[in-house]
Structure 1
Amino acid sequence: MNTTLANRRVPLYLLAGFIVLKMVLHYCIINPVYELHRDEYLHLDMANHLTAGYLSVPPFTAFTSLLIKWLGNSVFWIKFFPALYGALTLVLIWRVVALLEGGWYAQVLAATVFIFSAFLRLNMLYQPNSLDVLCWTWIFYLLICYRQTEKHSYLLWLGVAIGLGFLNKYNILFLVVGLVPALLLSPQRKIFLNKYLYISAGIALLIALPNIIWQIRSGMPVLHHMAELSQTQLVHVHRMDFIKTQFIFFFTGAFLFVAGLLGLLFYRAFSPYRFVALTYLFVMLLFTYLRAKDYYALGLYPVLLAFGAVYWEQLFRAKWLKYMRAVWILLVVVPFLYIFNIAFPVLKPAAIQQKAAKFQAAGLLRWEDGKNHALPQDFADMLGWQEMAALSRKAYAQVPDSDKPYTLIMCGNYGQAGALNYYNRGRIPLACSFSADYVFWFPHLDTIRCIVLLDDEPDERAHQVSKQIIEVGKVQNPFAREYGTGVFLLKGVSPELSAKFWEWRQAAVKKFRSY
């Protein structure tokens, strides 16, 4: 009796160990020289502007940011939530392996590949992507549970998972689009005769409804956002690069998700779950056709890792292959440790420059503009912000006390505005911008006497509306994406400027509307 209980506890101890490892790693993979990422500043600032929708993301991120704000807005909590979502994804992988009657070795193999893969990098930043992957995995988990038990409660939870996923990132819709034909073409098509599936759809719609209403009332800005992505970023995505990167995500661990696909096609015990492989096929075809960013597809892989691990465990049952179990784990971990220094911002920028050839060979220096730069784009987006915030405070200190209530902090992009608001925390007025969601948060000042302007250089319009322009300083970090961004103090601003700013703001809002 005690032996049986001990055997049951072993997998739980292993799972707890992997969860701790996963959480701890996320506090060790970023060198302190790096700051938060530009997107993180925007997401954190949403806590100050709660609403049912945003231009860049659905509203769930804003409420997480509010929780982070209540907890003190420290870097610890900012990094905690994406790491937590990654750990919960790991728990679901562990459970799927158990549902497939895999043993502790399959669970360890799947967990190892999950941790030592691109998911570690994905869960590094406070962005909607971590919860997106968790929701995709949760949906697959619920469908597998329903297939095994036919309990209606799993279908109802499916609606919750899809609805929550929608409120987090619209990417979840691609999974739904792939699942429908996959289920129709599999023996599981009878699910469409179950009324609880349609109740589930109603639950998902009810959860998503506030954001859908916001989108309609706001002129469907999501369509403008997608069009802008297609024109500025996705145009540089090559379809073959998208396919190749799916393997690079896992490096030597790619054998596991490939085994999962092969097992779903040829292993008889997996035949009831072939809709998973069909979903992968349909979603990948859709993403490839649309030239999607490579990481959009990451939500497909956790469940495949579980199937692949169980399949490999079956293969390793042969006596002579048992000795390969430990080797297979090492083949995942050791090569990953070799690329660890280039996959994560653990090296200082100067050290990265010394190893530029290694980074370039891995394609990490290629930015969204299709060109190579000194640092990976994500790393460059994590530098220069505190320097910029300090310069803005220096500029504001030069504003006469009588003019401070009538001073506007104007930034060229959302990263600048978010960083200033995060680091300055009330010491200067809230920064604003015509970029991204800040266009909706623009202050309506009846009178503007001074402007603290963040831009490369003041344009002709700035010279026309002010009597004096003082250059306070520029971002000096050559590795920062914001290198050379200047902070300028505009004095003697034209009295008519306040009305003009509101007109410009209205024009910017109109630009984001699709109708």
Structure 2
Amino acid sequence: MTSLDRELLMVRREVRARRTSPVAWLPVAVVAAGLIALLLVFANEYGYAPDELYFRLLGKRGLAWGYVDQPPLLPMVVRAATAVFGDSVWGIRVPAMLCAAAVTMLGAVMAAELGGTRRAQTLTAFAVGTSALVLNFGHYIVTNSLDTVAWAAVLVCVLRALLREQGVWWCWAGLVVGVALYAKYIVLLLVAALLLGLVLAGPRKVFADRWLYAGAGLGLVIGSPNLIYQATHDFPQLHMAQALGSTDGTAYRAMFVTNLVLLLGPLLFVLCMIGLVQLFRVPEWKPVRALGIGYVVAAAASYLVDGGRPDYTGGLLIALLAVGCVVADRWVGVRTLRLVTLVLALVLGAALQVVLSLPVIPRSEFHKFQRAGRSLQDVGWQQLAAQAEAAYRALPDADRADAVLLTQNFAEAGALDRYGHGLPAIYSGHNGLYEWGAPPDSAGVVVAIGVDPARLAADFGSCRTVDTVDNRLGIDNPEQGRPIIVCRDREKPWAALWPGYRHLSAYP
């Protein structure tokens, strides 16, 4: 390359850089702070989500290279959160709030990279922060909390690499991907979808950029210990994905479009679709059309392979929403009526999303709103633990000395660990808890919570139902009515029985 070629390249990069806008940090930070304040108001309502009880239990046991159902990062984060902020519902959710704020700000940064004005960036931050997608993973600490941040960060790097023609951003993208592999493997879907998008829509010259391969190598090096764990443990994540697809896939696929609209809200869904279309119509966005193809590819793959969860591609939805907000801002221009209409629609949509996504209904009134939703699963854990403890305390002294607790799922085990007092060892065959091993053969009495009575009857000579789980709130959630059974006279050694209790699934 001659000196003239280098000068021309620098000029072209400067021109592209000028097409982007400076980030409006102040208004965007105000929106993010407002989101954190909103999430704090409702952070302690109802109780732990089932997955939160599981992550807490995994983290409490100590660090691990991986689990059958997930990488190791989230339990580590939960362990750190409980150590810093306290072992409470509020404390465990602080990282989720920070993730929500981070995604909100990253969405605004995307809008800036696309040439959005300060107003467009603020609109993007507000739209992203008030979507059900972000409100949900900002309220609960779940794998999507970390994963969506990673996707959004990767996409910011990709936008900068393509729009500014600054290849070094591929290295930053690779670094984020490598770290993200410790949170959720589905980030590899983003990589594959974007690469296919670049092949189909260009700019294909990036495949001649050494920075792209440096970024890929960096991501591989950082993520390799986690990938080695998978390879040396018979790829448990593939078995988990297969189990989820077989149990939940049909229902999610049938509701894919409906769930996508609910995930964003009607207005934000429209803005996303506008963004998807405009990526292929606005000339200045030609270098990043791969994002549009990437979303279609990722959504189709999620639908066909991974159970049809629209939130699994949430990072790409945020990018499309940023595009849509920039388009909407340009449509508004200087027209006051259009601006008022857009802002009013966003505010009304935000209010609806808050009501649907956060625990705004008082606990005492919740039984009147038996709608399908995750909040139903958050109540009754203390009562479940109290009933299990009462069943254990009712055993004769000799039986208590040899007793163990056996739960059907990881949430029950997590609730007993969190709220139980003076209880014996807790066992479960659900997901990663199965790997912790079977009860000892010295355990002659089992207090089983929620376990299939037929399974217990086949393995024990004597089983008696001593109670049924009742949250005392009249809420018909998955735990309501589950039996608490005391079993004795085990038919075989635990080593022979334990594989029969293993199951891979999401809660419940």
Shorter-normalised TM range: 0.7 to 0.9
Which amino acid is the alignment partner of residue 404 of structure 2? L
Q: Deviations for 1:326-354, whole angstroms, at most 9, x for unmatched residues?
A: 32111111144246434433225775665
Q: Counterpart of 1:483 in structure 2: which amino acid?
A: Q
Distance 1:381 1:326, change over 3 A: same
Contact 2:465 2:483 in 1 (8 A): no
Is 2:54 aligned against 1:59?
no
1:467 Cα deviation from its structure 2 partner: 5.5
For 2:340 and 2:388, how far apart are their aligned partners in 1? Answer: 55
TM-score normalised per structure 1: 0.84
Q: Is the deviation greater in 389-398 or in 415-424?
A: 389-398
Alignment-derived partner of residue 270 in structure 2: 255
CA distance in 2, matches of 1:31, 1:124: 10
> For the aligned residues, what is the CA RMSD?
2.9
User: Of 492, 499, 505, which residue of structure 1 is paired with 2:498?
Assistant: 505
Q: Deviation digits for residues 420-477 of structure 1, max 9, x if unmatched?
A: 11222x6313421111111011355241132221126744744863557461553254
Q: Deviations over 1:70-128 (max 9, x none)?
A: 22222122121111111111111222222233222101111121122112123221110
- 1:315-464 → structure 2 map (5 Å cutoff): 315-317=331-333, 319=334, 321-338=335-352, 340-348=354-362, 351=365, 354=368, 374-400=370-396, 404-424=400-420, 427-442=422-437, 444-455=439-450, 458-459=453-454, 461-462=456-457
Determine if contact 2:406/2:448 at 8 Å carries over to the other structure.
yes
Structure 2 match to 1:176: 191
Residue of structure 2 in register with 1:5 after alignment: none
Q: How much has 1:253 moved relative to structure 2?
A: 2.5
Query: Using the alignment, how far apart are the partners of 2:178 and 2:22 within structure 1?
Result: 35
Structure 1: which amino acid aligns with 2:338? M
CA distance in 2, matches of 1:451, 1:330: 58
The yes-or-no answer on 1:25 pairing with 2:22 is: no
Structure 2 matches for 1:98-117, cutoff 5 A? 98-117=112-131
Q: Is the 8 A contact 2:275 2:327 kept in 1?
A: yes
The equivalent of 2:8 in structure 1 is none
Secondary structure of the corresponding residue to residue 381 of structure 1: helix
* 2:83 corresponds to 1:83: no
Is residue 2:58 matched to residue 1:46? Answer: yes
| Percentage of pairs with the same residue | 23
**SS of the residue 1:82 aligns to:** helix
User: TM-score scaled by structure 2?
Assistant: 0.85
Q: Is the 8 A contact 1:421 1:430 kept in 2?
A: no
For residues 298-319 of structure 1, the C-alpha deviation after alignment (integer angstroms, 9 at most, x for no partner) is 22111122222222222222x4
Query: Does the 8 Å CA contact 1:142/1:155 hold for their aligned counterparts?
Result: yes
Judged with a 3 Å threshold, the aligned counterparts in structure 2 of structure 1 residues 257 and 468 are, in CA distance, closer, same or farther, namely: closer
Aligned to 1:311: 327
Give 1:403 deviation, angstroms: 5.1
SS of the residue corresponding to residue 406 of structure 2 reads strand
How far has the Cα of 1:171 moved from its partner? 1.9
Gaps of 5+ in 2: 1-20
| Pick aligned residue for 2:49 from 37, 42, 52 | 37
Task: Tell me the SS of whatever aligns to 1:265.
Answer: coil
Q: Name the amino acid aligned to 2:493.
A: K
Task: From 204, 213, 235, give the equivalent of 2:250.
Answer: 235
Corresponding residue to 1:225 among 235, 240, 249: 240
Letter in 1 for 2:424: P
- 1:68–1:404: structure 2 CA closer, same or farther, 3 Å change rule? farther
Measured after TM superposition, the shift of residue 505 of structure 1 is 2.6
Map residues 136-155 of structure 1 onto 2, 5 A cutoff: 136-155=151-170
User: How has the CA–CA distance of structure 1 residues 501 and 13 changed in structure 2, closer, same or farther, with 3 Å as cutoff?
Assistant: same
Q: Deviations over 1:8-35 (max 9, x none)?
A: 9994332222111111222334683x22
Please list, as runs of the form range in 1=range in 2, the aligned pairs for 1:118-197 lying within 5 A after superposition: 118=132, 119-197=134-212
1:58 aligned counterpart, secondary structure: coil
Instruction: Indicate conservation of the 8 Å contact 1:353/1:375, yes or no.
Output: no
Instruction: Give the unaligned 5+ runs of structure 1.
Output: 1-7, 356-373
The whole-number CA distance in structure 1 between the counterparts of 2:182 and 2:197 is 24
1:371 corresponds in structure 2 to none
Matched residue type, 2:49: H
Q: State the 1:389 CA deviation.
A: 0.6
Q: Which residue of 1 aligns with 2:295?
A: 280
Maintained 8 Å contact 2:440/2:494: no
Q: Is 2:55–2:75's contact at 8 Å kept on the other side of the alignment? A: yes
User: SS of the counterpart of 1:282?
Assistant: helix
SS in 1 for 2:493: helix
Matched, 1:302 2:295: no
**Counterpart code for 2:376:** A
- The number of residues matched between the two structures is 478
**In structure 2, how many angstroms separate the alpha carbons of the residues matched to 1:100 and 1:464?**
63
Q: 1:148 Cα deviation (Å)?
A: 3.9
Tell me which residue corresponds to 1:69. Answer: 82
| Secondary structure of 2:37's aligned partner | helix
Find the aligned partners of 2:408 and 2:324 in 1 and give their Cα distance.
47
Deviates more, 1:467-476 or 1:66-75: 467-476
Change (3 A) 1:433 1:354: closer
Change (3 A) 1:392 1:507: closer
Distance change in 2, residues 1:65/1:429 (3 Å): farther
In structure 2, relative to structure 1, the CA distance for the partners of 1:95 and 1:476 (3 Å cut) is closer
Change (3 A) 1:244 1:467: closer
CA distance in 2, matches of 1:487, 1:52: 34
Q: Which moved more, 1:250-259 or 1:298-307?
A: 250-259
Residue 279 of structure 2 aligns to a residue whose secondary structure is: helix
| Letter matched to residue 37 of structure 1 | A
CA distance 1:353–1:74, shift in 2 (3 Å): closer
1:486 to 483, 486, 490: 483
Distance change in 2, residues 1:275/1:412 (3 Å): same
Distance verdict in 2 for CA 1:463–1:17, change over 3 Å: same
| Matched letter for residue 408 of structure 2 | G
